[in-house]
């Protein structure tokens, strides 16, 4: 019985495995378009604000959530 199961799985498993073709590409050198410092600063500040805003809102209203007011 074990031989039958082993024979079936040895024929089915290669069909079930996806064929993965790996292709590596390396890009080196200076960037095509330079991003200004002001744009980097603006986008960085915006990302920080988006990440920190929900936590700041919750901390500012924690007493309302507890029902203390």
In a domain, 11, yes or no: no
In a domain, 64, yes or no: yes
In a domain, 66, yes or no: yes
Burial 44-64 (b: 16+ CB within 10 A, else e): eeeeeeeeeeeeeeeeeeeee
In a domain, 21, yes or no: no
Domain that holds residue 66: 35-69
pLDDT digits (tens, 9 = 90+) for 4-62: 777 767 777 666 666 677 777 777 888 889 999 999 999 999 999 999 999 999 999 99
Domain count, the chain: 1
In a domain, 43, yes or no: yes
What is the value of pTM for the model shown? 0.50
In a domain, 53, yes or no: yes
The alpha-helical segments, DSSP class H, found in 1-69 are 2-16, 37-60, 62-66
In a domain, 57, yes or no: yes
The answer to whether 69 and 63 are in contact (CB under 8 A) is: yes
């Amino acid at each position: 019985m074990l031989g039958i199961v082993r024979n079936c799985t040895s024929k089915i498993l290669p069909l079930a495995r996806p064929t993965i073709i790996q292709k590596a590409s390396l890009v080196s050198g200076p960037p095509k378009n330079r991003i200004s410092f002001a744009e980097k600063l603006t986008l960085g500040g915006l990302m920080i604000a988006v990440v920190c805003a929900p936590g700041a809102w919750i901390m500012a209203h924690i007493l309302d959530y507890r029902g203390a007011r």
